[in-house]
Amino acid sequence: MNQYEVMYIIDPALEDSARVELINRFSDLVKKNGGEVDRVDEWGKRRLAYAIQYKTEGYYVLMYIKAPAELPREIERNMQISDSVLRYLTVRYEGEMPAKREPLKPYAARESAPVEAAVVEAAPAPAAEIVDDEKPESEAE
């Protein structure tokens, strides 16, 4: 069995119960076809890089699975049929399952959080000494 990472973006206008049902439907699809779901990370609403079907936000879901080689095609076929899925991507990876990725904080939350480490008060620069070889006109006699 191969290891896969499946990322899909759901329409943010979908109600919570329908969204949970859709996520569970894809997880059950993996289980019914001989695979196993290792982890499902819901990243929540994020701003899209470009508008998709006139939508600028999407609900991101990342799913790690172990499955036979034919299963990703079946998952992508079901995602393509579903009107609630805006985009999807399946990637095969080798080795250990990656550590849980923490989603980025929304931009508004980052603005309101205090940024203590980034604010460093700079010490005033020492005044440069002016070396003037010429004497002022009043002293030059």
List pLDDT tens digits, range 47-71. 999 999 999 999 999 999 999 999 9
CA distance 17 to 25: 12
Find out whether 97 and 39 touch, Cβ atoms under 8 Å: yes
State whether CATH 3.30.70.60 applies to domain 2-95. yes
Residue 119 has pLDDT above 50, yes or no: no
Residue 124 has pLDDT above 90, yes or no: no
pLDDT band, very low/low/confident/very high, at 107 (cuts 50, 70, 90): low
Whether pTM > 0.85 for this model: the answer is no
pLDDT at res. 97: 75
Find out whether 76 and 88 touch, Cβ atoms under 8 Å: yes
Amino acid, res. 117? A
pLDDT band, very low/low/confident/very high, at 129 (cuts 50, 70, 90): low
Average pLDDT, the chain: 82
Find out whether 84 and 18 touch, Cβ atoms under 8 Å: yes
Domain edges within the chain: 2-95
Report, as an integer, the average pLDDT of 115-123: 50
List pLDDT tens digits, range 10-56. 999 999 999 999 999 999 999 999 999 999 999 999 999 999 999 99
